[in-house]
Amino acid sequence: MLHSMTGFGEAQREAKGISFQVEIKALNNRFLKTSIKLPDVLSFAEPKVQLIIREHLCRGSITYILHIRSVSAAGTFEVNHGVVQDYMRHLEQIRTLRGQEAVHIDLAGILQLPGACQLREYSDEDHEFFLDIIKELTCQGLEKLRQMRIEEGKSILVDLKKNCQEIKQNLEALAKLSGKAVNRYRDRVERRVNELLAGVNLKLDEESLIKEVAIFAERSDINEEISRLQSHLDQFDEICESDEQAGRQLEFLTQEMLREANTIGSKSNDAGISHYVVGIKVAIDRLKEQVQNVE
């Protein structure tokens, strides 16, 4: 079953007066690239979060954000009273220097100054408790992300099969023409040479014609390329239906498909075959673009 690389998952929970919310966003990337953003007070959990993500995902650009918000009087921050008193004392000194009887003090502004508020200190036991919550929410968020990726993967699979079918149809039509290409070339050469020799009353040497046609047949034989391209299509279908991580395998197969199509186009000297080669290459390009979205 194909999984898309794009998706979103979230989970939330409250504990010890704190609301935890995990958001996980995934975008396309050839490899697994993670960006983990945690509040400073919970930065100790980053290695574990990184490990969980790598256990669940193998490709994609992953942005992981953990939000925390106080829902109780205790909160996650506490006021450093000593620092606040120092700020207040300096303000009083400024008032004295300026000879003013009163100075307006903005308490909200003071609390935003460096050191006025600090993260509440938690015990090792609290850290373990919070780590368990983060692990739980991370797994829940990743599961929701996985479900979204599965749904998008179904849509991708439909499009991939449509393009594979288009390639197969063009390949079948091309194979039918390839068997007649040699005869058409023989007729064309014979007709052209006879036209040139008609004016000098000479006849075409049948043996020379046979040699020329044999050389053309050998150079333009595309049966091997047709067989390999058909084999790649069969492998493509099998991988799409498997439970393995398919993205990189499908990328490789589309490169090989394009290689075979290019070889067919370069060896063919027939307008009809070239027409079908163009159709095959267009469909392969669409496959290459779409498999970039597959995990």
> Residue 88: its pLDDT value, please?
72
Contact between residue 87 and residue 116 where contact means Cβ atoms under 8 Å apart: yes
Q: Which residue in 234, 218, 235, 225 sits closest to 259, CA to CA?
A: 225
Residue 66 phi, psi (nearest 5): -115, 120
- Output the six-digit token pair for 83: 């620092």
Distance from C-alpha of 52 to C-alpha of 61, rounded to nearest angstrom:
15
Q: Which residue in 12, 112, 122, 134 sits closest to 74, CA to CA?
A: 122
Query: What pLDDT digit, counting tens, does each position of 90-103 carry?
Result: 777 776 666 655 55
Does 90 or 149 have the greater pLDDT score?
Answer: 149
Give ∠ CA 96-100-104 in degrees, rounded to 5. Answer: 100
Integer angstrom CA distances of residue 198 from 191, 195, 201:
11, 5, 5
Helix H or strand E encompassing 247 = helix 247-267
DSSP conformation class of 120: P
> Residue 162: its pLDDT value, please?
94
Query: What pLDDT digit, counting tens, does each position of 230-251 carry?
Result: 999 999 999 988 877 888 899 9
Integer angstrom CA distances of residue 214 from 182, 185, 187, 211, 246:
9, 11, 13, 5, 43
At 79, the pLDDT band (50, 70, 90 cuts) reads low
At 77, the pLDDT band (50, 70, 90 cuts) reads low
Domains, the chain, ranges and CATH? 77-111 (no CATH), 154-291 (1.20.140)
> Residue 175: its pLDDT value, please?
79
Q: Round to the nearest angstrom and report the end-to-end CA distance of the chain.
A: 10
At 274, the pLDDT band (50, 70, 90 cuts) reads confident
- Output the six-digit token pair for 217: 């047949």
At 107, the pLDDT band (50, 70, 90 cuts) reads low
Which amino acid is residue 281, in one-letter code?
K
- DSSP character string of 47-102: HHHHHHHHHH-SSEEEEEEEEEEE-SSS-SEEE-HHHHHHHHHHHHHHHHHHT-S-
At 73, the pLDDT band (50, 70, 90 cuts) reads very low
